[in-house]
A and B are shown apart, each in its own frame.
Chain A
């Protein structure tokens, strides 16, 4: 059974198509990254999963349950960190968690342990209105974790966290996943997704542009490595010789700087060795692997036309 299944999901707000015929399947037990620039339709999709908004057409199921008709049963089994939420300023952190325990009817919930886990134990009895952005994010993560849900839906979980907090968030996501929890999280930053996701979907302007594993996505790019060599005495002939090698897609000389791009199977060492044999003095070199970030940019910046 799929943890999440979207079938032709469409949501229209007046003239704007926020989500446009989305088909997607998230398997049980995986960490799934939902990636796209701001305004791509990520939050709208998540809002449909939670029955905050109703789809114009198509359907969404969570754990085999219809996200609209069986929403209550869905929300009993999931933990959610929503996007653009606001805490109850006048309630303490502990009261927030108690509300989750009451709402989900959780037996033997260890509120203290959860607060400890997200590092807000010392602020437990302070009003959440006085929490920093990062602390609020941790508090709501704790609310999501209470009661060991089968599926975690996290909308931009790293918002407002410092690098340390973001790392902690990553560790918690991985630990939950190790216990068998499916994790579905959205982000507009590739780096966060790259580090922990089993699979990634990229969405842009409401449409799905790619779904694959991280390695699979990498494999889709032709050129993956750029080798920049500080080469004394290299000339156009050297560059041409390098350019003619297999696996090399380009070699450009700019003064003493030779820039060589290789496909996935190309050997950087072979290039350096060949230059050395031609009597070129290699003073230094650097390697730049084409990142998923570039791929992401490629997927999402093409023919950007913003509907007015």
Chain B
């Protein structure tokens, strides 16, 4: 009950974020333009295939993962840290809420806000695609939505968790952007670096299997893995590999590893955030 009260209040507040709706407009325009070029000029965008809704799904996933990660940071970095910094948390916690009610309420409220924005964006995007292609595979779209909502939940959880670790928004910003930069931009070099160190500061002929696991750590990579496991036929029909595990012979080299990675990101940062928030003097 307490969690729901906080979530409702938080949704009403965060849904009015101008930055969120600004970002949504940019991404809707971008996705419509890209969908248009994917359908009209398939050779430019994805050579060697006929445009299909399935292909479009994986194509859209790339844009969506960028949109979700950026908006999650913009909408959620202040979730707890911002309230602590300006003092509205005193109104919140003068009422009978546990700190975990506050944290989960924030999580639900911000997830609802992001899901709403995403639903609007995807409705426009897929509506446009349907108009261009003349057909729409409902099951494919629904599975895509399920995977995307999971991914959204994960990113919101990560950023809310980060926000709960500190009472300073500038620190929360640094941590959230740092997370994004390290895991979504720089991560490619980490497996290579790890192998380099593990191999006595030289690179082996062949990369060991465990580097595959390290590569799967970024949430957006895990999201693609999840999509691949949910839509195997669609993934197979594409000319490019959506999943990098093909050449690796290990029990974990399956797309389903994405679920494990997402579960990790869903739980661990939030747990750390809760631990820090619970013990904090406001």
Range of interface residues on chain A?
20 to 34
A66 at the interface (CB under 8 A from B): no
- The smallest beta-carbon distance between A207 and chain B, in angstroms, is 21
Q: What are 23 residue pairs bridging A and B, where the CB atoms are less than 8 Å apart in the complex?
A: A47-B282, A50-B93, A52-B90, A53-B282, A75-B93, A75-B96, A80-B94, A82-B87, A82-B91, A85-B90, A85-B91, A86-B86, A86-B87, A88-B88, A91-B9, A91-B13, A95-B9, A95-B12, A103-B5, A103-B95, A103-B96, A105-B1, A143-B91
- The smallest beta-carbon distance between A292 and chain B, in angstroms, is 30
Q: CA A54 – CA B279 in complex, angstroms?
A: 8
Q: CA A96 – CA B9 in complex, angstroms?
A: 8
A72 at the interface (CB under 8 A from B): yes
Q: Tell me which residues from 48 to 87 in chain A have a Cβ below 8 Å from any Cβ of chain B.
A: 50-54, 72-73, 75-76, 80, 82-87
Decide if the interface of chain B is mainly helix, strand, loop or mixed: helix
A162 at the interface (CB under 8 A from B): no
A100 at the interface (CB under 8 A from B): yes
Q: CA A101 – CA B172 in complex, angstroms?
A: 31
Q: CA A82 – CA B95 in complex, angstroms?
A: 11
Q: Among the listed B4, B13, B94, which residue makes an inter-chain contact with A50, where contact means beta carbons less than 8 Å apart?
A: B94
- The smallest beta-carbon distance between A266 and chain B, in angstroms, is 48
Question: Given A87-B88, A99-B5, A105-B1, is A82 in contact with B13 using a C-beta cutoff of 8 Å?
Answer: no
Give every chain B residue within 8 A of A85 (Cβ-Cβ): 87-88, 90-91
Give every chain A residue within 8 A of B95 (Cβ-Cβ): 75, 99-100, 103-104
| A53 close to B9 (CB less than 8 A) | no
The A/B interface has a contact count, at CB < 8 Å, of 77
B97 at the interface (CB under 8 A from A): yes
Q: CA A95 – CA B5 in complex, angstroms?
A: 11
**3 closest pairs, A vs B, by CB?**
A80-B94, A102-B5, A82-B90
0 or 1 for each of B62-99: is its CB under 8 Å from A? (1 = yes): 00000000000000000000000011101101111110
Q: Tell me which residues from 1 to 24 in chain B have a Cβ below 8 Å from any Cβ of chain A.
A: 1-2, 4-6, 8-9, 12-13, 16
Give every chain B residue within 8 A of A140 (Cβ-Cβ): 91
Q: CA A254 – CA B13 in complex, angstroms?
A: 67
Q: CA A91 – CA B95 in complex, angstroms?
A: 17
Question: Given A85-B90, A99-B9, is A53 in contact with B281 using a C-beta cutoff of 8 Å?
Answer: yes
Question: Given A52-B282, A72-B96, is A84 in contact with B90 using a C-beta cutoff of 8 Å?
Answer: yes
Q: Closest residue to A144 on the B side, CB-wise?
A: B94
A167 at the interface (CB under 8 A from B): no
Question: Given A50-B93, A104-B95, is A90 in contact with B9 using a C-beta cutoff of 8 Å?
Answer: no
Q: CA A21 – CA B16 in complex, angstroms?
A: 46
